[in-house]
Structure 1
């Protein structure tokens, strides 16, 4: 089952419309969730617009709900992909128990904050020491660097 988190109202509407047009057998395997991801269920506010937009506790017109992944889904995760604009560590904390217990494959962006380059791989090795880590970079600029964590083959 696919759970797709999208906190932005406009993007969530596009996602929901796309899913609604899929064949029934595919559509029933996808659940769009109108929320961002974090270590706990909370509310933030959007500051700015477009690519420069960020979330903060400072009140603005656009309220954004966030959820802990483990609280929002009702399946054991087998693969988690994240590109959540500086919230990667918080989002991982919201899935920590599932990551430690079930060791899903992970693809986590590590370019939004400079410290993510080492903090996230170290965190993953702490939680799942037997995983293999692979880092890949997909652009000419600093964007699009991903750490992959794969469970040790048994």
Structure 2
């Protein structure tokens, strides 16, 4: 049962940001500190990736565990009220994510997804980005 009134719930949901979120800013900070340069939210690419590394042909999405259904994550909960609505919404989000990823791959881009929960530890995030982005750099030099 939702403890908020429908009006208050609407206010809360309206404030959920789509870009410049704390996890996204964390990824941007780490990638920039590593010396990688990127573009933000390119409108000409499917799904408007959060970070685009043009030289590496990598599109990086920073997904919230709740909204994009990070499998096995404790943050990917389902609200108890209006459960049918939420399950439908989450299914559409996941389908859209898959469609955007396949469209980008068809255009020759590599797609990387960093989950919100992975941004909580800076060292782990650093290692993940290093692995994902330097791997692409070595592929390009072959």
Q: Is the pair's TM-score, using the shorter chain for normalization, greater than 0.5?
A: no
- Give the structure-1-normalised TM-score: 0.26
- Give the structure-2-normalised TM-score: 0.27
- Which is strand-richer, 1 or 2? 1
